[in-house]
């Protein structure tokens, strides 16, 4: 079902009038984690002002260590839904277990499956049983075939609203947190009809690389971007401040993308 052979035309996912996979480039921006109502409200305002369409933010965080901040939970879903509504943005948040799918879907417009859960088959099956759009991140060691098979689980369950996200893979390089696999963008567009989103934030782990890799992703044919942005990245509650853009950088980047679009 994920294959281009099965479905030759591009899948376009329409969420409250925002089309993902169509003509328009979709930008999802926001903090790694929802921290407080004030934080998410201010960032939502800045995402909207810059021209973004979707507010990102994790309420449930998949941390490598059990003692790290795990997210604010359901309260974070409420904070983000309110900020999204107030500023006229769609929202995307990560869901980690099948049990939390329904409550996350109640509050968010798009559900994110993180890289560590790409092959959490119970989670994928549960997401296949609803119609809420899903952004499926590529596992950091997954081949394209494994990635598309993970998408297949959701599609096979009856949910056609799946977008694929390249977020960097693990390589021998340690300078960057991950290696953003730019080739994945055209490859996935060729093999599949599903929208392809790039995550240059987790894909590099370094703020100064997010702008160039965003532009490269757009040139490679990405349908959208998911970018971390924070008003006070040095004091953010996850370690992802180092890869978060400052609001001014985010706004400038979106202006540059507008200029890039007619060239492609």
Binding site for ligand PEP (CB under 6 A): 32, 58, 62, 114-115, 137, 167, 202
Residue 167 or 189: which CB sits closer to ligand PEP?
Answer: 167
Here the tokens at position 129 are 């049983």
Residue 10 or 223: which CB sits closer to ligand PEP?
Answer: 223
Phi and psi dihedrals of 101, rounded to 5?
-60, -45
Q: In this chain, which stretch among 90-98, 142-150, 164-172, 233-241 interacts with Mn ion, using CB under 5 A?
A: 233-241
| Contact partner, 230, from ligand PEP, Mn ion, none, Cβ < 5-8 Å per class | none
State the nearest-atom distance from the C-beta of 212 to ligand PEP, in Å: 19
Residue 3 or 246: which CB sits closer to ligand PEP?
Answer: 246
Q: In this chain, which stretch among 21-29, 176-184, 206-214, 237-245 interacts with Mn ion, using CB under 5 A?
A: 237-245
CA distance linking residue 152 with residue 78, whole number of Å: 30
State the nearest-atom distance from the C-beta of 23 to ligand PEP, in Å: 26
Residue with nearest beta carbon to ligand PEP: 114
Residue 21 or 205: which CB sits closer to ligand PEP?
Answer: 205
Site for Mn ion contains 227 (CB under 5 A): no
Q: Which residues from 14-43 bind Mn ion, rule CB under 5 A?
A: 32
Residues forming contacts to Mn ion in the complex (CB under 5 A) are 32, 240
């Amino acid at each position: 079902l994920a294959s281009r052979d099965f479905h030759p035309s591009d899948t376009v996912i329409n969420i409250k009038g925002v089309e993902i996979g169509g003509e328009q480039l979709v930008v999802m921006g926001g903090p790694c984690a929802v921290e407080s109502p004030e934080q998410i409200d201010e960032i939502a305002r800045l995402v909207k002002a810059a021209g973004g369409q979707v507010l990102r933010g994790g309420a449930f965080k998949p941390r490598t260590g059990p003692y790290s901040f795990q997210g604010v939970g359901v309260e974070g879903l409420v904070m983000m839904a309110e900020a999204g509504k107030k500023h006229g943005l769609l929202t995307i948040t990560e869901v980690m277990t099948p049990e939390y799918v329904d409550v996350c879907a109640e509050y968010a417009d798009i559900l994110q499956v993180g890289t560590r859960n790409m092959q959490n088959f119970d989670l994928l099956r549960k997401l296949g049983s609803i119609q809420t759009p899903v952004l499926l991140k590529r596992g950091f060691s997954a081949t394209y075939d494994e990635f598309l098979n993970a998408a297949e689980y959701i599609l096979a369950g009856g949910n056609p609203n799946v977008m694929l996200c390249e977020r960097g893979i693990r390589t021998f390089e340690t300078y960057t947190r991950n290696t953003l696999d730019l080739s994945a963008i055209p490859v996935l567009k060729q093999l599949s009809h599903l929208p392809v989103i790039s995550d240059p934030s987790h894909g590099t782990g370094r703020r100064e690389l997010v702008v160039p890799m965003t532009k490269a992703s757009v040139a490679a044919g990405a349908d959208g971007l998911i970018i971390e942005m924070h008003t006070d990245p040095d004091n953010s509650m996850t370690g992802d401040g180092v890869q978060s853009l400052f609001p001014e950088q985010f706004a400038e980047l979106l202006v540059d993308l507008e200029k890039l679009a007619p060239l492609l």
